[in-house]
Amino acid sequence: MTLAETLSAVGTVALARCGGRPLGAHLFSVWPGAAFAASVFPVRCAPGDNLALHVAVEQAPPGSALAVDVAGETEYGYVDEILAVAAHTRGIEGIVLDGCVRDIAAIARCELPVFSAGVSVREAGHHAGGSVGQAITMSATGPVPLQARRGDWIAADDDGVVLLPRGQVSSIIGKTVDSLSHEQELIEAVHAGQSTLDLLGLDPSQVSGWEGAGEHRQRRGVRPGGPPHEGAVHGEARTQLRSCNPPHTSVGEGRRRD
């Protein structure tokens, strides 16, 4: 399994939980089910102009994804049908931009995964400067923007977009695989009738109106000494859990192009 396939398989939720850096919640997939994972090719557009995007489509290595900074001028359709078809034809895996797009039905038809901040019929110009291949900043969850550079990786699906800084990808994947294995154990325990309060070591008394008192602990078989530590699974339920075999990850075999 290649690095791109592994990142797509584990998904953005698990990656964000284990060290991946979420981009802003304002980004969404232009068509449902769009997803990709690829190395980053950064693009900075001049405000209201997409000339740099046209240059990037010609220059970016096949198998990479375009991460696009639109210099804060979001209300233009920076990616349209022509650019989407050109990018798809040249092997670009996807596009993530802090601005808007247009021709969304056509983008969906060509099946290029595009994640944007919105839709705008306003046409971008094609004459100003910008840059390609140089570090950019992208809006992110929290007050501080994230820097995106060549050699970073980006993963996107219906849950959002996550950036993985170069040099940290292997570590993040390792933590993610462990996290997913543990999460599957919890899901199996919930299917078997265990309480999420006990499994996660949560304190329901913090919630006004809670009526369980001590009866909840007795019913679930939790020892009087207190709830298990977070994520712990005890007793007979443990033997019923299915062990999750983590996917084979050959990080060194991933498609990394600088």
- What are 57-74's pLDDT values in tens digits? 999 999 999 999 999 899
- The answer to whether the beta carbons of residues 116 and 40 sit under 8 Å apart is no
- Residue range 210-225: average pLDDT? 55
The predicted-structure confidence for 183-213, as pLDDT tens digits, reads as follows 777 788 888 887 878 878 888 888 888 887 6
Domain 21-166 top-level CATH class? alpha beta
Looking at residue 247, what is its pLDDT? 40
- Residue range 167-177: average pLDDT? 87
The predicted-structure confidence for 127-143, as pLDDT tens digits, reads as follows 999 999 999 999 876 66
Residue 243 pLDDT level (bands cut at 50, 70, 90): very low
The b/e string for 182-198 (b: 16+ C-beta within 10 A; e otherwise) is eeebbebbeeeebbebb
Residues β-bridged to residue 164 = 153
Angle between helices 51-59 and 81-89 (to 10 degrees): 10
Looking at residue 1, what is its pLDDT? 83
Q: Greater confidence, 244 or 27?
A: 27
Looking at residue 78, what is its pLDDT? 97
Looking at residue 178, what is its pLDDT? 78
Looking at residue 213, what is its pLDDT? 60
Question: Please, where in the chain does CATH 3.50.30.40 lie?
Answer: 21-166
Taking 60 as the threshold, does the pLDDT of residue 16 lie above it? yes
Q: What count of Cα atoms within 13 Å lies in the side-chain half-sphere of residue 184?
A: 13
Taking 80 as the threshold, does the pLDDT of residue 167 lie above it? yes
**Average pLDDT for the chain:** 82
Residue 176 pLDDT level (bands cut at 50, 70, 90): confident
Taking 70 as the threshold, does the pLDDT of residue 242 lie above it? no
Residue 226 pLDDT level (bands cut at 50, 70, 90): very low
